[in-house]
Amino acid sequence: MLRQTCLLILCSALLWTSAAAAKTDPSIDREALEGRWRTYAKSALQTQPALDFPYAHCFSRAAAAHDLPETLLLAVARGESDFKPRARSSANAYGLMQILWPGTAKHLGLEQLSEVLDPCTNVDAGARYLKELQQRYDGNLYRTLAAYNYGPARIPVSGGRLPDGAVWYSSYIMRHLDYVLNGSSKARGGTVRQRYAGQDRLFIIQFSRPYRAAAFVDRLQPRFGDLRLDWFRRADGGFDVVLQYADEAERSRGEQLLDKLGFG
C-alpha cells in the first residue's frame, strides 16, 4: 500500500510539472540547445552511429547524396517513426521520416503514396527536405529541425522567438541524436556495433501526451545512471516509457531500481 501511494505521488508530481512545461517550456535552455546543435554541426559529417540501425543502406546513401550527416538522418527517423516504414501520423505524415502527404511529398517530387511508403525513397525525400531547410537557415540545425516539424513559414531565418513547440521538437531530436551517437548506455565499451533490434525494452508506464512522457523520463533518468530510459510513440497515439537494455545484467539492474521506485 505504501509503495502504491509513493508511486501515485510521484506520477502526480510529474504530471503537474509536465503540464506546466507544455505551456512555457521552462526546462529547455534555448541558447544552450542551439549551442549543442552548433557543436554537433562542426564535426557532424565525421560522426558515426553507435549501433547498426534498420535500413542502414537507405540512410548512408541519402546522407552521401545530399551531403548530410548520416547520424542526423537516423536521429530524425528514430524520433519520427522509430524506424517503422509504414508509420502514419494523425496529420497524414508517412514513413520513416514522416513525410506529409500530399503537401510536402509533392513538393519533393513524390506523386504516389506508394513512393512515400518505400523506405529508401522516404529517407531520400526526408534528406532532401532537411538539406533544403539547412540551406535556408544557413546551416543552423537548431532552426532547421524546428522548421522540419513546424514548417519554414513559421520559423524565421534569423532572430525572432521560435514557437515553444518548435523548440521542443528541436530538443526532442537532439535527444534521439544522443542515442544514435551513444546507444543505450553512455559508458559502453567494445568495438563491435550492436544491432538496433538487439536493444531490448522493458515497459514502465504509458502516457497520453508526449510532454508527459518526456518529463517523466527527464525526472527519473538521473536515478538510473548509465541505464537509459526512453519513450516512444505508439500506433494508437499513446506514448510508452521504457527502459533500454543490452543484456540480462542491465535488465536486472533496471528492474531492481524500478522496484525501489514502486514500479515492480
Cell digits for 127?
A: 534528406
| Spatial distance between the Cα atoms of 104 and 88, rounded to a whole number of angstroms | 14
pLDDT tens track for 213-252:
988 998 999 999 988 899 987 767 788 999 988 889 999 9
| Spatial distance between the Cα atoms of 56 and 159, rounded to a whole number of angstroms | 36
Contacts of 104 (CB under 8 A, 6+ apart): 129
pLDDT tens track for 46-91:
999 999 999 999 999 999 999 999 999 999 999 999 999 999 988 8
Owning domain of residue 202: 2-260
Inter-residue contact 244 to 201 (CB < 8 Å): yes
Q: Is 80 a catalytic residue?
A: yes
pLDDT at residue 189, as a whole number: 54
Whole-prediction pTM: 0.83
Q: Would residue 83 be called left, alpha or beta, if left means φ above 0 and alpha means ψ between -120 and 50 degrees?
A: left
Q: Which of 70, 80, 115, 250 is catalytic?
A: 80
pLDDT at residue 24, as a whole number: 40
Place of cell 540547445: 33
pLDDT at residue 200, as a whole number: 84
CATH number, domain containing residue 108: 1.10.530.10
Give the total number of structural domains in the chain: 1
pLDDT at residue 1, as a whole number: 46
